[in-house]
Amino acid sequence: MIIVADVFFALGMLFISFGVIGIMRFPDVYTRLHPAGKAGTGGVLSIFIGLMIYSGLSHFSWRIFLIAVFILITSPVASHAIARGALESGIKPWEAKND
């Protein structure tokens, strides 16, 4: 079971690493929100699944499960709130230049 947990840990770190690359690569706040939200949520949830597998069926794993559900609910809401706040503050979306 430890090997399966290690695979989920590695998968979570991979998700988060791709998210960091996406955040650095994209041009504006709106396009950066996508990798930040998706990769952050996927990475943290993968790490939490690895922790639940590593700890087995215990009180600790139920707490991790509840935190994972909380993250699944609040991460899209937070991304939407950031995008809406950026739009209301006057930040315009990036437009590709056609030559």
Domain membership flag for residue 96: no
What pLDDT does 89 receive? 93
Domain membership flag for residue 97: no
pTM tops 0.95: no
Residues 6 or more apart whose Cβ sits within 8 Å of residue 7: 50
What pLDDT does 91 receive? 87
CB of 82 within 8 A of CB of 37?
A: no
Q: How many domains does the chain have?
A: 1
**Domain residues for 16?**
2-88
As given in the structure block, the two tokens for residue 42 are 């996927």
Domain membership flag for residue 75: yes
Domain membership flag for residue 94: no
Q: Which amino acid is at 67?
A: I
For the chain, which residues score pLDDT lower than 50?
A: none
**Which helix (H) or strand (E) is 64 found in, with range?**
helix 59-88
Domain membership flag for residue 65: yes
Give me the sign of the Cα torsion angle 39, 20, 96, 75: positive
What pLDDT does 1 receive? 85
Domain membership flag for residue 93: no
